[in-house]
Structures are given as structure tokens and as C-alpha cells.
């Protein structure tokens, strides 16, 4: 069993998403520390990519600016090595297939193991093509985390049965971004998932307010928030760690 399960052992898990290198790598490190101090249970780190197809405008802009600022996969690996001296909660990467391929799949995933990254989320990887990465993930004990979007019961069952780490439940069709309302029948999706796996379920895409976090945590094991955090970083820049910390605390308390 991977370290990811520990994020869900003490109640509902709050999972902040942070784009690495935005606005710079030192601010990213400070944000991670503040998030953990204020109750984050698992950290999802985005490795920037030039064409992040699952992302809305907010995270796309963060990707662009991080890349423009010179962020690289190696710099992110070095940052995680450093923060792992003090931070021991689970960490997962979210990035795109081309980032892993271009780095070298085995080299990328073996480095994840070396620096104690517990899982990887690849949103542009279809379930049917997961064997492009799964052998290396299994070899190095890095969970390849599956995403479930609103879809058929048959597909939900298929993905659930082979899930590792936790299941990322996509709240709404489309790209990331804050939403005033989440109208998907998530109860039905999670009920279907529960029939096929005991792996924890965390809901992401569109969650931004403490009220939404409280509502989503009642039906799931955790909540993932990205765009709302990136908006705080966009507003406050290098001064954003304290504001992100306050936001994480408010969301965790609501849950």
C-alpha cells in the first residue's frame, strides 16, 4: 500500500493544487510549507506544460508564466528533494504525457521514487493507454492515479477496479476553473465507484468556496482545489504564501 492512503486516515482530505514555478520556485516552496502548516493532507504539484489541455485560463496562464520564468522538470525535482527534508505528507505530480515521455518515462518515474513522490496524475492519458506508463509505475511503486469524469457505469466500474492511490473524481465536464454551481450527480458516480473499489475518492474541478468544500466532502473522502489557489497566487505574487495558507485553513475547517 502506498503512502497516499495516509492522507485519508484522519478525516476528509484537503488537497491543494500548486503550479510549480509560479511566480517562481522559491514562492512555490513557501506556498507548500504554508499549505501543510494549515492543514493540507496531500499536495498536488503541477509540472507546467506548454499545452495543458485539461486546464482553464487561470492554470493555463500559470503554466505559461512558469515556463517563461525558466521552470524545468529537473528544477522541480530538486525543489521536492529539498522540501522532503521537512515535509512528509503524500505528494503527487500532475502533468501531461509528453512531459514524461520527453524526459524519459523510466527516468521520470524512478526519480519520483527517489524523491518520495507518491503518485502521478496524467489527465491526457486515456485509461486504455495507461500501459504506456503503468509498468514503470508498478516497478518503482509510484501510483498512477486515475481520473473519473461523468460517464457510463460500465466505464466507471472498469476504471475503479484498477485504481491506485486515490480516484480523482472530476466534478464537471470541461476544463479546470472555479464554478458557482456543480450540478453533476456526484452521488451516483461515487456510489458506482464504491461498488468496485475501497480506494478513496477525492472530488476536483470547480470547487472554490468553503461551502462547496463542505458539501463535496460529505459525499467523498477528499476535495481537490486548484484554480482558486492559483487565483490567490496571481493576485498576491511573492506575498501569496500567507494568503494561500489562510485559504487552506478555511477550506479544511469547513470540511
Q: Going residue by residue through the chain (255 aa), what tens digit of pLDDT does each one get?
A: 579 999 999 899 999 999 999 999 999 999 999 999 999 999 999 999 998 876 778 999 999 999 999 999 999 999 999 999 999 999 999 999 999 999 999 999 999 999 999 999 999 999 999 999 999 999 999 999 999 988 768 899 999 999 999 999 998 654 444 445 544 689 999 999 999 999 999 999 889 999 999 999 999 999 999 999 999 999 999 999 999 999 999 999 999
Q: Are 187 and 203 in contact (CB under 8 A)?
A: no
Q: Are 101 and 124 in contact (CB under 8 A)?
A: no
Query: What pLDDT score does 178 carry?
Result: 46
Q: Omega before 24 cis (within 30°)?
A: no
Q: What residues contact 126, with CB distance under 8 A and at least 6 apart?
A: none
Query: What pLDDT score does 172 carry?
Result: 67
What total of structural domains would you count in the chain? Answer: 1
Residue 184's SS3 state is: coil
- Measured CA to CA, the distance from residue 150 to residue 119 in angstroms comes to 23
Report the CATH number that the domain containing residue 188 is assigned in CATH. Answer: 3.20.20.70
- Measured CA to CA, the distance from residue 76 to residue 97 in angstroms comes to 17
E strands along 53-130, which residues?
91-94, 119-121
Structural domain boundaries enclosing 62: 3-254
In DSSP terms, 45 is beta-bridged to: 18, 93
27-49 core/surface letters (b: 16 or more CB in 10 A; e: else) = bbbbbbebbbebbbbbbbbbbbb
Query: What pLDDT score does 85 carry?
Result: 97
Phi-psi region of 116 (alpha: psi -120 to 50; beta: other; left: phi over 0): left
Crossing angle for the helix pair 153-161 and 186-194, nearest 10 degrees? 50
At residue 219, φ and ψ (nearest 5 deg) are -110, -5
- Measured CA to CA, the distance from residue 72 to residue 197 in angstroms comes to 36
Amino acid at each position: 500500500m502506498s503512502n497516499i492512503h495516509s492522507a485519508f486516515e484522519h478525516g476528509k482530505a484537503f488537497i491543494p493544487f500548486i503550479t510549480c514555478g509560479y511566480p517562481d520556485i522559491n514562492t512555490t516552496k513557501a506556498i507548500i510549507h504554508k499549505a501543510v502548516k494549515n492543514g493540507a493532507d496531500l499536495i498536488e504539484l503541477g509540472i507546467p506544460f506548454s499545452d495543458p489541455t485539461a486546464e482553464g485560463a487561470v492554470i493555463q496562464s500559470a503554466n505559461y508564466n512558469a515556463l517563461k520564468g525558466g521552470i524545468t522538470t529537473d528544477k522541480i525535482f530538486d525543489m521536492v528533494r529539498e522540501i522532503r527534508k521537512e515535509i512528509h505528507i503524500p505528494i503527487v505530480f500532475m502533468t501531461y504525457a509528453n512531459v514524461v515521455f520527453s524526459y524519459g518515462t523510466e527516468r521520470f518515474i524512478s526519480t519520483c521514487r527517489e524523491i518520495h513522490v507518491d503518485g502521478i496524475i496524467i489527465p491526457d492519458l486515456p485509461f486504455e493507454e495507461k500501459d504506456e506508463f503503468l509498468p514503470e509505475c508498478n516497478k518503482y511503486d509510484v501510483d498512477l492515479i486515475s481520473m473519473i469524469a461523468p460517464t457510463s457505469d460500465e466505464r466507471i466500474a472498469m476504471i475503479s477496479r484498477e485504481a491506485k492511490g486515490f480516484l480523482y473524481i472530476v466534478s464537471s465536464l470541461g476544463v479546470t476553473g472555479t464554478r458557482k454551481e456543480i450540478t453533476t450527480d456526484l452521488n451516483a458516480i461515487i456510489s458506482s465507484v464504491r461498488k468496485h473499489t475501497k480506494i478513496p475518492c477525492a472530488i476536483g474541478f470547480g470547487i472554490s468556496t468553503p461551502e462547496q468544500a463542505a458539501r463535496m466532502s460529505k459525499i467523498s473522502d477528499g476535495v481537490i482545489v486548484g484554480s482558486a489557489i492559483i487565483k490567490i497566487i496571481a493576485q498576491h505574487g511573492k506575498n501569496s504564501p500567507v494568503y494561500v495558507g489562510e485559504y487552506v485553513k478555511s477550506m479544511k475547517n469547513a470540511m
